[in-house]
Structure 1
Amino acid sequence: MQSSSTQLQTVADELESSAERVIEFARRAGADGTRVEIEAAESRAVAVTNRVPTERSFRGTLEMTVTVFREGKRAFAKSSDLSDEGLSKIVRGAIDSTAATESDPAAGFADPGELARDFPDLDLHHPLDWSIDELGAHAQRAEDAALAHDTSIKASKGVTVRTVSGVSLLATSAGFLATAPWSIHSIACAPVAFGTGERQIGFWGDATRAFDDLAKPEDVGALAARRALDGLGATQVPTQQCPVLFEPSASLELLSELVSLASGDALYRSGSFLKDGIDSPLFPPHVQLDEDPFVKRGMASRCFDSDGIAGLRRKVVEDGCLRGFFLGLYAARRLDLTPTGNGYGAHNLKMSSTRTGPHDDFAAMLRKLHLGLLVTEMVGGGLNRLTGDFSRGAKGFWVENGEIRFPVSGITIASNLRQMFGGLQAIGNDAITRGGATSGSWLIDAMKIGGA
């Protein structure tokens, strides 16, 4: 919320009161147990396109989800009405919905010993009290920088600046009650470069908890413009097998595939080739993957998950071996495993290599690639979770003798994720952080390139 500490506490108190009333209403209505999640937030957003404002918004949102458990069944309902009448109505709706569900032994509350007990200040709440006009001027600085970068940048698909702050609450009839204030500030820029009979759209953005940590708008605009320019004149390369270097933003997409494969939904519902992979080699021994829910100002930092369970600082991948999954309570019970506090997802992942040295910057990674494909963007989706077969459209650059020669587009890259992970030769020290994950560029020993 755009508020002082006193106002913030008032909002938290109001949410706690509402949650306690919901739990009491549900008890009287016959629920065996109740979980209440509430999020109250305020957001400001502006967008400019070709120096014309295209969005100017200020809004407040409130969403409450009530889950009730009755006779081994569970059901939920959503509302934004915190009046007694509204709370009573959402409870009745959830209770009535249990009649249409089946008993589920995996549903229910966490054991008391699993619940979070410590709530350190993670420094996640940094509201920005800027006017819409001030945000608009900030966005225009990014677009001006993009348009001024090169004469080939003649238009823009827009710049968006957004600031959101709020309070989240989790309460259960088993006695858990906690609130968490937070904020997110973001900027995104998409300029258009024009060439001979073609145009390319570049994109770059950033998101942080504190506005002061956000990338400068001039830097965002210039980098987005450069990415648009770099795509002009792209061509295909012959179909072949070769090494592939994924720049950091692309390597983070591969890391997200790993997270999805090692998360509860894939493991117990749709299937994953990692299901029996705990303590088995997945990457070469030099690769490490760390998780830390308690990073100050981390985009994926939190003291508790959707069931009130605390996350852990841990090695998800240690010396190349998979050591753990990402499990909320329900998925853990379905798999007969211990929950890991990941009911809201993974926390601040950091991919690293014991081989990475201080001189392994992006230029050094190109030299390690020597001859092959540099991938900057991937499009489409093509992953078979059961087998690991992977295929995506891609664009980037062809590299020879460790130097970029020309841009490439209209190709596909294909392999198997197990082979790709096992063939991860090096990780650069050119790391970036996006959405709670950090990694440098990845050098994969071989993939099939589908082109001309």
Structure 2
Amino acid sequence: MTFDQGAAMPNSFAHRPQQLAELADSVITQAIREGASDAQVIFSESNGLLIEMRQGRVRARTRDAQSSMSLTVYRGHHQGTTSSTDFSPARLRETVQAACRIAGYTGEDEFTGLAPEQYLCPGPRELDLWHPWDLDEAGALALAHRIESGIASAGKDVASDGAWVRSGQSCWYLMNSRGFAQGDRQTNHGMSAKALAKKPGRSQLDFWHSHSHLAASLMTPEAIGHRAGSGALAALDSAPLAGSRRCPVLFDPSCALSLLDHLVQAASGAVLYRQNSFLAGQLGREVFSGHISIEEDPFVPRGLASRAFDGDGIGGAARRVVDHGLLAGFFLSAYAARRLGMAPTGNAWGPGNLALCSSHTRDGDDLTAMVKKLHTGLLVTAFSGGGPRLISGDYSRSLRGYWVEGGEIRHAVDGVTVAGNLADMFRNIAAVGADRLTRGALTSGSVLIDSLQVAGR
């Protein structure tokens, strides 16, 4: 939601939008007077309420308010960057002068500079991100108690290891010396649960959370707690998985999101122009199964990663990053795009609402149906370490989950390692579930991969 600079804000910040605009203009003007050829500044403010509870006792109750300013100035192809949390005229003047001095000492970089004007966001866009929550400490405490009751409802062998309730809001204003000047604001609310299940000689933790711009869209506190408690209990009764084998592996939705995250890492900025990614030079080539498309849309109403513009002032676009298996786009800031000789994509702040889709997915493909498709193999529900090497795509992670036979879960497993190569894993995605989960910028259903190396303890 791009805001009217004169509009009143419920639960207002320390500065009104018009005041942030005036501060930004004064900083840009001072930077040019100090010898900068160009400058960009972003002012931001945030505030919120956080309650943390454990087994009925309040561990923290916090009301926070933060303000920050980040300034980048250019002297030709020399760059200086400074920041401040003090918006007083004297401090801002010192910050501007420091940035200009730094630019006088940094090395020349032909790729640095403001984003090309033709890519800048043209104007406001309504994204429905502003929904203040009338929540006081008493209300937040009541919600935390309900989260803990949800954990307890999962069974007698599980207890709360923490319940969190958070309501927050933020606003920002971005301006540069080429005429870009826009602001935005959003609310962010969430509830989380961590559950600890115990039996003699063994314990397991599990975690669940729900986040939204709109409080009414959150899962109920009891459901959040019950999900965490059930997960911890189910992981208690594990059996060893002996030996090593190749078998199908099903990533549940929360773990499938990590595959999307690895794609973003491998298709972004510095790893590409430094040739440190297995996806470097792969644009236009088949990198996923042909039934897979990955769609980005930064303009989804109420989307957790929706935005009108990125940190360069560039407006993104609804697009397919992967189109029926073909790699169709990267995630590029203005700087990375220059280094690669490409157009920027509006991803200086990362991806905007990225979703993994399959043309084979059917409405009934919930996790139970996906376990049937797995038939015999490993269901992954949590990671405990490891990750990919982006330069080669080599992949190895330790995890916990369940061993499945004949389409039925047989027992929990822990301390298992899966290994492979991301390039092969992407091409060998056999199915994607309809059990879609969104966390931050990423959305995916469960993902079934034909074959990975699986090793037990």
TM-score range, shorter-chain basis? over 0.9
d(CA) in 2 for partners of 1:6, 1:220: 27
Find the counterpart in structure 2 of residue 168 from structure 1.
172
Find the counterpart in structure 1 of residue 375 from structure 2.
370
Find the counterpart in structure 2 of residue 38 from structure 1.
43
| Alignment counterpart, residue 282 of structure 1, candidates 282, 287, 291 | 287
d(CA) in 1 for partners of 2:443, 2:9: 32
- Aligned residue identity for 1:31: A
| Alignment counterpart, residue 193 of structure 2, candidates 189, 198, 212 | 189
Find the counterpart in structure 2 of residue 266 from structure 1.
271
1:50-129 superposed matches below 5 A: 50-129=55-134
1:433-452 superposed matches below 5 A: 433-452=438-457
d(CA) in 1 for partners of 2:448, 2:298: 28
Q: Tell whether the 8 Å contact from 2:238 to 2:414 is kept in structure 1 after alignment.
A: yes
- Identify unmatched segments of 5+ residues in structure 1: none
1:143-292 superposed matches below 5 A: 143-153=148-158, 155-238=159-242, 239-269=244-274, 271-292=276-297
Find the counterpart in structure 2 of residue 342 from structure 1.
347
The answer on 1:418 being equivalent to 2:439 is no
How far is the alpha carbon of 1:273 from its aligned partner?
Answer: 0.8
- Aligned residue identity for 1:393: S
Which range is displaced more, 74-83 or 91-100?
Answer: 91-100
d(CA) in 2 for partners of 1:8, 1:232: 46
Q: Tell whether the 8 Å contact from 1:235 to 1:410 is kept in structure 2 after alignment.
A: no
SS of equivalent residue, structure 1 residue 17: helix
- Aligned residue identity for 1:217: P
Q: Could you give the per-residue CA deviations for residues 168-201 of structure 1, whole angstroms, max 9, x where no partner exists?
A: 1111011100000111111110011111211111
How far is the alpha carbon of 1:10 from its aligned partner?
Answer: 6.0
**Count of residues in Structure 1 that have an aligned counterpart in Structure 2:** 449
Q: Could you give the per-residue CA deviations for residues 200-254 of structure 1, whole angstroms, max 9, x where no partner exists?
A: 1111001111111111101000000010001102233121111000000000011
d(CA) in 1 for partners of 2:202, 2:179: 61
How far is the alpha carbon of 1:366 from its aligned partner?
Answer: 0.6
SS of equivalent residue, structure 1 residue 382: strand
When normalised by structure 2's length, the TM-score is: 0.96
d(CA) in 2 for partners of 1:191, 1:377: 14
The answer on 1:18 being equivalent to 2:23 is yes
How far is the alpha carbon of 1:314 from its aligned partner?
Answer: 0.4
1:126-137 superposed matches below 5 A: 126-137=131-142
Q: Tell whether the 8 Å contact from 2:288 to 2:426 is kept in structure 1 after alignment.
A: yes
Q: Tell whether the 8 Å contact from 1:195 to 1:233 is kept in structure 2 after alignment.
A: no
SS of equivalent residue, structure 1 residue 144: helix
d(CA) in 2 for partners of 1:99, 1:31: 10
- Aligned residue identity for 1:143: E
d(CA) in 2 for partners of 1:80, 1:61: 8
How far is the alpha carbon of 1:255 from its aligned partner?
Answer: 0.8
d(CA) in 2 for partners of 1:67, 1:381: 36
SS of equivalent residue, structure 2 residue 373: helix
The answer on 1:354 being equivalent to 2:359 is yes
SS of equivalent residue, structure 2 residue 388: coil
How far is the alpha carbon of 1:6 from its aligned partner?
Answer: 9.9
d(CA) in 2 for partners of 1:232, 1:59: 38
Q: Tell whether the 8 Å contact from 1:240 to 1:450 is kept in structure 2 after alignment.
A: yes
- Identify unmatched segments of 5+ residues in structure 2: 1-7
When normalised by structure 1's length, the TM-score is: 0.97
Find the counterpart in structure 2 of residue 141 from structure 1.
146
| Alignment counterpart, residue 407 of structure 2, candidates 398, 402, 405 | 402
How far is the alpha carbon of 1:379 from its aligned partner?
Answer: 2.2
d(CA) in 2 for partners of 1:10, 1:92: 23
